[in-house]
Structure 1
Amino acid sequence: MNCGEQPFLPHEPAYIEQHGLFNQVPYITGVTKRESASFVTEKMMSQASYWQDINNDLEQVVPVTLGLAKGSQKSKEVAQKVKSFYFGNKTISYENRELWISLQTDLLFVTGVIQTVHTHANHSASKTYNYQFVYGHSGHAMELIFVLYNGKMQGESSNSVKIARIVGGLWTSFAKTGVPSVEGVAAWKPVTSNGSYPYLEISLSPVLKYNLEKEHMDFWENIYNEYGN
């Protein structure tokens, strides 16, 4: 790089976000209910060896961002706490695969999105909107299918058409005005810096709720507070 060039990223992304050094425009971010189901596939989970590997190496559920050495006492403690929180006394197995999908969804997507939502709302002069998409399979990027819907139309009354109109309407109004809204859907309130964390649960009947996956996020916040470096 020439000395006179401006770097594309002058700082670490977390630093940029925490100091408001970004283009402060209205922002939407969110997750689907079963994000990791697109990666933890039925084919993988149907194999006994998949679950054996997990149970033989439970520390794989310990986030790298905690900075804990694998095999350390703290890493083992976190692994056991995670297992207890998500599975209780149940075995991590195919029979409890939805719990595993939930854990992986939180690890890979929800914790990061929620941290971003809170930080962004605290350091942006523009509005931040959060959502959870719960329609259908709700796998990774499922909502984008309906933002740019190109599936076969099954008639105006079909559920696919209904959800496409809701999602498409929200994203279109956001692109036009900076405010996501569509007729017949509850007002989508932005996240605020005073600790109000609303999100829109997007389904055939969208509902405004608060504190996305709060119990799970409180668990991870406590883990990071106790074990994070």
Structure 2
Amino acid sequence: KDLNSKQIPFLPTIDYSSLNAFLPDTPAKLIKSEHFHNVPIMTGTTSAEGLVIYLVGQFDASILSQINEDIEILLPSHSTLERGSKKSLEVAAKIKAFYFKERNISEATLKEYVDLESDCMFCYGAHEMVKAHLQQNHGPLFYYHFSHKGIWGFFESAGRSIPRTGK
């Protein structure tokens, strides 16, 4: 399993062939080219979105020990650093220190791992889109972070539990 190429099942579908396509290219390209309708935008993230890796079957406990052996797995999939380079190892070590402090990555640090996955898979993209929108200085923008843990959270409703996190 290639841990550096996690697949996120929630991506926009680009419609290249329709004459009046809603999304004729990637959002990043549309924003950069200023080829979009100037309408109010609402975007955001929710806490623990990284839990989606459990729901789509991209997690098992062996991943945690693999990361301890190869910390470059912690690099986001959009990283352009050359794997094995001094800079790549340095950045991976900083990521590990930020999320896990001095602890080894294990089931005891599962919450921190979920936070890392949330940031890599969801928060980074939302933040980059907001920055691009603000640089173009277009229309109203509403940016939120939602962190309510209700009884019908998507993880609990799937009938799963995460060991040692209380979630």
Higher helix content, 1 or 2:
1
Which residue in 2 is equivalent to 1:90?
103
Note the 1:46-195 alignment, pairs <5 A: 47=61, 49-136=62-149
Check if 1:31 corresponds to 2:45. Answer: yes
SS in 2 for 1:71: coil
2:75 and 2:92 in contact (8 A); partners too: yes
Which residue in 2 is equivalent to 1:20?
34
Q: Distance in 2 between matches of 1:140 and 1:119?
A: 30
2:53 and 2:59 in contact (8 A); partners too: no
SS in 2 for 1:66: coil
Q: Distance in 2 between matches of 1:132 and 1:26?
A: 17
Task: Output the amino acid matched with 1:84.
Answer: A
Aligned-pair RMSD on alpha carbons?
3.0
Would the alpha carbon gap of residues 140 and 31 (structure 1) be closer, same or farther in structure 2, given more than 3 Å must change? Answer: farther
Q: Distance in 2 between matches of 1:67 and 1:11?
A: 22
SS in 1 for 2:128: helix
Would the alpha carbon gap of residues 44 and 16 (structure 1) be closer, same or farther in structure 2, given more than 3 Å must change? Answer: closer
Normalised TM-score (structure 1): 0.51
Aligned length: 135
For residues 79-122 of structure 1, the C-alpha deviation after alignment (integer angstroms, 9 at most, x for no partner) is: 11100111111121111111111111101110110111121133
Structure 1 residue ranges without an equivalent (≥5): 142-229
Task: Output the amino acid matched with 1:74.
Answer: K
For residues 176-195 of structure 1, the C-alpha deviation after alignment (integer angstroms, 9 at most, x for no partner) is: xxxxxxxxxxxxxxxxxxxx
Q: Distance in 2 between matches of 1:7 and 1:71?
A: 45
Structure 2 residue ranges without an equivalent (≥5): 1-17, 156-167
Q: Distance in 1 between matches of 2:101 and 2:36?
A: 42
The structure with more radius of gyration: 1
1:35 and 1:140 in contact (8 A); partners too: no
For residues 186-212 of structure 1, the C-alpha deviation after alignment (integer angstroms, 9 at most, x for no partner) is: xxxxxxxxxxxxxxxxxxxxxxxxxxx
Identity of aligned residues (%): 30
SS in 2 for 1:53: helix
1 or 2 for the larger relative contact order (CA 8 Å, sep ≥6)?
A: 2
Q: Distance in 1 between matches of 2:51 and 2:142?
A: 24
